[in-house]
Amino acid sequence: MAATFFSFAGAIWWSVAVGLLCFTLVCGLAQPFVQRRRARGAARPPVSVILPIKCLDPGFERAQASVFAQDYPDYEILISAAEVESPALEAARRLAAAHPAAACRFIHSQGCAAVSPKLNNLAAPLAEARHDYILTKDSNITLAPDALTAFLQNFAPGVGLVVAVPVAVRAESVGGWIEASIINAHARLLLSASTLGLGFGIGKIMALRRSDLERAGGVAAMSQNLAEDTAISMAFARIGLKTVFAHETVAQEIGFRYLADVYHRQARWSVIRRTNELISYPFEPLASPLPAAVAAALAAPLAGLSALTAFAATLALWFVAETVFAALKGWEISIWSPLAFLGREVVALAAWLRGWTTHQVTWASQRFDAREGVREAD
């Protein structure tokens, strides 16, 4: 009786997981066409582009140079850092000197009012920006030359925040390929959400109007949340403005990554997601092939298969489906992809389990409690 129960439970899990996979594959392919039809904005207002920097991340110079190369009529660049001197600042100054025609300013942003180190870095340039439209991006995000135009097109009536789905590029180690696999698997889910008209705060790159941010309570209203992107999206929702994904993805530079760093970063975001996404977090393993393969092994007797055959077939078919999807999207694939696919499952599920065991995270060499309203872990 117990064996039959687990077999049917496994069959139900496997069916739901594979159904979700197929659904997200179709939606992920459709997203650019669907969202482009919604992106009807034609205005090209002046924009203040804020680049908060700290570390000299992989691809840093390529990512920052892409901002100076935007095909856009009127925008300024504000580079902000808490430090007075750093390798990242030196590299940014070289880039600014190489583009003397660009309107670029450096701002020392040493705020401490917010829990999030990133939000502290954004506070000063948000206050000093000349324009109402703001775009901010992380230092490892590379933009296409038409990115500013693409983002502004998505400011339809009722839209307050425009974000983009990051897609991993240029991994240079096994750890890097594992992180790229994690990011791109997540990208497929985000593209699917966008197709359905859903939007979430994704802090890798965000476009908003400063006037809307002030109506939503300003930086102070988001200061007690480590996930400032989620906090901004929720604050905008409270004043009737929605968050949407742009119809174009952005490139996230990966470079060389140590596996331990990948795990710790994923564990940090797992803890933060559990704090901010209480409803969806428990269901995250449904989008993962490893639990689906275990479910297939449990259900195997119902189909007259061995557990090992069902387990291996599920993993193999899932990998093939993701690889075909990546090829159709033009995403990077390599000989490391099979290993990265398996490695990401171990890392991502371990990080998900870690998210249930603690509220403490380490960010920018500081320890925090991810629960809203608690600034620093004891």
Contact 103, 72 (CB under 8 A): no
* Domains, the chain: 28-272 (3.90.550.10)
263: which residues sit within 8 A by CB, 6+ positions away?
Answer: 347, 350, 351
Listing from the earlier edge strand, what are the strands of the sheet with 250-255? 141-142, 250-255, 166-171
pLDDT at 226: 75
pLDDT at 84: 87
Type of residue at 93 = R
pLDDT at 256: 95
pLDDT at 114: 67
Q: Which two tokens stand for residue 325?
A: 């999807």
HEC states along the chain? CHHHHHHHHHHHHHHHHHHHHHHHHHHHHHHHHHHHHHCCCCCCCCEEEEEECCCCCCCHHHHHHHHHCCCCCCEEEEEEECCCCCHHHHHHHHHHHHCCCCEEEEEECCCCCCCCHHHHHHHHHHHHCCCCEEEEECCCEECCCCHHHHHHHCCCCCEEEEECCEEEEEECCHHHHHHHHHHHHHHHHHHHHHHCCCCCCCCCEEEEEHHHHHHCCHHHHHCCCCCHHHHHHHHHHHCCCEEEECCCCEEEEEECCCHHHHHHHHHHHHHHHHHHCCCCHHHHHHHCHHHHHHHHHHHHHHHCCCHHHHHHHHHHHHHHHHHHHHHHHCCCCCCCHHHHHHHHHHHHHHHHHHCCCCCEEEECCEEEECCCCCCCCC
pLDDT at 376: 53
pLDDT at 111: 67
For the chain, residues with pLDDT lower than 70 are: 111-114, 364-365, 372-378
Contact 49, 141 (CB under 8 A): no
pLDDT digits (tens, 9 = 90+) for 327-378: 999 999 999 999 999 999 999 999 999 999 988 887 766 777 777 555 554 4
pLDDT at 378: 46
Q: Which two tokens stand for residue 172?
A: 């240079």
Q: Which two tokens stand for residue 55?
A: 């570390």
pLDDT at 113: 65
